[in-house]
Amino acid sequence: MIKVIKNGTVITMDEKRNKKYENVDIVIEDDTIVDIVDNYNGPSDLVIDASGKIVMPGVINAHTHLGMSIFRATNDNLNLTDWLNKKIWPIENNLTDNDIYYSTLLSCLEMIKTGTVMANNMYFNSDGAIKAIKDTKVRCLFGNHLLDNDEKGDERIEKLKQLYSDNKDNSLIKFAVSPHAFYTCSKSYLRKCSDLALELDLPLHIHFAENLDEVKGIEKDYKKDIVDALDEVGLLRNKLILAHATFISESGLIKLKDKDVSFVHNPVSNLNLGCGIANISKYKNYVNVCLGTDGQGSGNNMNMFYHLSLVDLLQKGLYKDPTIFSSYEALQMATINGAKALGVDDIIGSIEVGKKADIIILDMNNIEVYGAVDLITNIVHNTESINVNTTIINGEVLMHDRKLMLKIDLDKLKEQIDLIINRVVDKSE
């Protein structure tokens, strides 16, 4: 099937093109972009008229927890440790695989509605999550929580191996080895996770240096700089995705410079939990830096455009210098840099001939955002979910004119979410 997106203003995020945006037509055959031309007049089965709209790569959420949609509004006035111990872990202990199916389903639909085409997911109760991802046809790098602060560490690794074996031929689902964090994993377990990632040729995704207490804990346990602790347990051998990395020393950055390491900046989550502001203006000179929302419990939502604006503003405020960071760099974090982190930059993250058609169309004609001197800046700082008009993943139109094209009963979904919250969430103050 040939689809054509015509008459739009296209932001390709392709560094090989001379212009940041231009008026071109995009030709899609099945799941792949086969041509980018000034005015396509060839055969087509479907034409999407993008006149007056913006066409760009779908955004990529490089760190989240898809099963945590039910945790919205649980983070007020709690630091990270208290939030995990008093809110999150007690609730998670009561969640069933069916609960995770519905909570993940809600997150995946939120992705589609807000223009996110791929997420890097770390969570547990994996079967329900995998089913929800398949039902919504979103792209995902999937890792089940791996930790050994109980007696189930090896059992979780065996579950990952089973998931990988059962789904490794699925073109939309890739896998990562995802140990939760240094404070929930022993040294020997982290080494085992690193070995497994090398054995299966998978990236390794871990929470790291989220707040100062965590940094101090690693330094105390390992008696060395936290980057050297990564090296001690073998993680610097891996394609490594460090979620947060809020506090990394200059010496640590130098050690990481030639490694295959990506930092995932989660600005909303870090602000909500009082963790601090990551110095990504410095980090970007050493490692690939991309963007995540974290779970909705700390990140509030999965609308990457909401989080995107903060990326740029926080760096300008941190440095008291408006020239330190640009809107285009922020947009790179949410597109091609995210693809590089997740190991899929050969297929998505930019609009190029030969890549998969993971594309969104923005309608910026509403009064609240209308009239823009600089297109990129307007997208980064003013896009709301209502501006996401169309979401295409792997060549399939999953939303058009704000209408979801999936056969999912939204009223039933909301009913199930309400039942889960009423059963497991303590709403008392």
Q: How many residues does the chain have?
A: 429
C-beta separation of 381 from 407 below 8 A: no
Amino acid 308 reads: L
CA pair distance 382, 97, nearest whole angstrom: 37
The model's pTM is 0.97
The confidence score (pLDDT) of residue 427 equals: 56
The confidence score (pLDDT) of residue 144 equals: 95
CA pair distance 305, 385, nearest whole angstrom: 8
The confidence score (pLDDT) of residue 91 equals: 82
CA pair distance 241, 14, nearest whole angstrom: 23
CA pair distance 356, 171, nearest whole angstrom: 11
- The domain locations on the chain are 2-56+358-404, 59-341
CA pair distance 333, 329, nearest whole angstrom: 6
Phi, psi for residue 68 in degrees, rounded to 5: -100, 20
Which whole-number Å values give the CA distances from 73 to 83, 88, 310, in the listed order? 11, 12, 19
Assign domain 2-56+358-404 to its CATH architecture. Roll (2.30)
What angle, 0 to 180 degrees and rounded to 10, lies between the N-to-C axes of helices 304-319 and 375-382?
100
Amino acid 97 reads: D
The confidence score (pLDDT) of residue 337 equals: 98
Q: Which residue has the tokens 């007696």?
A: 151
- 59-341 CATH pick, 3.90.1210.10, 1.10.260.40, 3.20.20.140, 3.40.50.300: 3.20.20.140
Secondary structure element (H or E) that encloses residue 282, with its range: helix 280-283
Per-residue pLDDT tens, the chain, 429 aa: give them: 999 999 999 999 999 998 899 999 999 999 999 999 999 999 999 999 999 999 999 999 999 999 999 988 777 777 888 888 887 888 888 899 999 999 999 999 999 999 999 999 999 889 999 999 999 999 999 999 999 999 899 999 999 999 999 999 999 999 999 999 999 999 999 999 999 999 999 999 999 999 999 999 999 999 999 999 999 999 999 999 999 999 999 999 999 999 999 999 999 999 999 999 999 999 999 999 999 999 998 999 999 999 999 999 999 999 999 999 999 999 999 999 999 999 999 999 999 999 999 999 999 999 999 998 999 999 999 999 999 999 999 999 999 999 999 999 999 999 999 999 999 876 545
Task: Check residue 238 and report its DSSP letter.
Answer: S
Half-sphere exposure of 383 (CA within 13 A, CB side): 31
CA pair distance 335, 62, nearest whole angstrom: 10
The confidence score (pLDDT) of residue 354 equals: 98
**What is the DSSP code string of 3-62?**
EEEES-EEE---TTSSSSEEE-EEEEETTEEEEEESS--S--SEEEE-TTSEEEEPEEEE
